[in-house]
Homo-oligomer: A and B are copies of this chain.
């Protein structure tokens, strides 16, 4: 990215390459970026997909709010600026896993087209598979697994996506999952089937 600031550390080609790692793991790396409302099922799908991939011999890393907001991004809040920095760091981290030959599953609301475009640019468009986990707001709010919608309705959480902040649906996602109507198993299977040609056949196939 030509417009990045120059630092005192020049880049040299001194590190084992992504292809070496992909060969070692017997797979092709990719970033699967799940976007959707809170409660739409992103992380549930990501976790089930990861278990399935693991069982079939693929090597993955799952990034989601649970392991990012408590660690790398524990000094960020929920202002517009912090939300952007949150996604920026996540995309850069996903790229580190990608460059390591690892299939990286990212599960984040990432509500705007602009913020996902940024993630896509950081990761590289050819390796960024945007998956729209699409459930109606009413379904997500009815589930309210984490009790966040209730808090948002009560005004305890501001700028909550779907309540008082917009979610902009992807215009051309790699795949759209209808988690309001299809079962978890169906969603995971559809994603797995779509992913398979992109990640190669493992030795177990």
Is A138's CB within 8 Å of the partner chain B?
no
Is A80's CB within 8 Å of the partner chain B?
no
Is A100's CB within 8 Å of the partner chain B?
yes
Q: Considering only CB atoms and an 8 Å cut-off, how many residues of chain A contact the other chain?
A: 52
A69 touches B15 (CB 8 A): no
Q: Which one of A60-68, A111-119, A193-201 is at the B interface?
A: A60-68
A66 touches B146 (CB 8 A): no
CA distance A132 to B74 in the complex (A): 29
B47 touches A15 (CB 8 A): yes
With contact pairs A16-B62, A96-B63 given, residues A9 and B69 touching in the complex (Cβ less than 8 Å): yes
With contact pairs A15-B47, A47-B14, A100-B61 given, residues A8 and B146 touching in the complex (Cβ less than 8 Å): yes
What sequence of 0s and 1s flags, for each residue 7-19 of chain A, a beta carbon within 8 Å of any chain B beta carbon?
1111110111000
Interchain residue pairs with CB less than 8 A apart (8): A7-B69, A9-B65, A12-B66, A14-B43, A14-B47, A16-B60, A25-B59, A75-B85
